[in-house]
Amino acid sequence: MSSEPPLNSRFAEDLQMKQVAGPATYHRDTDGPVAYLSVADRAGTVIGYVWANDRDEAAGWVVPQGLSPNAVNAGGRWVRALRGGKARELAPTALLAELAQGANDNEQSHVVPGSRTEAPSLAALKELAAGG
């Protein structure tokens, strides 16, 4: 007989996690071409890229390497814009067009005018953001 107290069965059961709610989000990956916008801070430094692909209902935010913590934090506004676009059921590129018109600009960051461009893939955009 063991001198240890018996294990409570509540601690021996596997937990069954189930997500029941969360913000609406676009898919975060695509293997097709992506349209994107460059976003800069008030000094003109690019702090990220908002990208979209309608075929895969995908959109996201890519951050260049080596940014200051403040610049990285400024990207939160653009991630929230992506969630808001999905919640309003906008197609990813329709949201991109709205953002290109300055819908999410503020004193901390803004879309670089005329920056809407296409990349052959999300991987190519990520390589661009990495300095490649």
| Residues 1-16 pLDDT 10s | 567 887 777 777 777 7
Beta carbons of 99 and 37 less than 8 angstroms apart: yes
pLDDT value at residue 14: 78
pLDDT value at residue 16: 79
pLDDT confidence band for 59 (50 / 70 / 90):
very high
Question: What mean pLDDT comes out for the span 81-102?
Answer: 97
Show the tokens assigned to 101.
Answer: 């018109």
Q: Which segments of the chain does DSSP mark as H helices, in order?
A: 9-12, 69-74, 76-87, 92-100, 122-129
- Average pLDDT score, the chain: 92
pLDDT value at residue 4: 80
**60: part of which helix (H) or strand (E)?**
strand 58-62
pLDDT confidence band for 132 (50 / 70 / 90):
low
Beta carbons of 14 and 105 less than 8 angstroms apart: no
**Portion of the chain with pLDDT greater than 90, in percent:** 78
Comparing 8-22, 49-63, 98-112, which segment has the lowest mean pLDDT? 8-22
Show the tokens assigned to 90.
Answer: 């906008």
Question: What mean pLDDT comes out for the span 109-126?
Answer: 97
Question: What mean pLDDT comes out for the span 105-121?
Answer: 96
- Count how many residues are written for the chain: 132
Report angle CA 118, 120, 124 to the nearest 5 degrees.
100
Whole-prediction pTM: 0.82
Question: What mean pLDDT comes out for the span 104-131?
Answer: 96
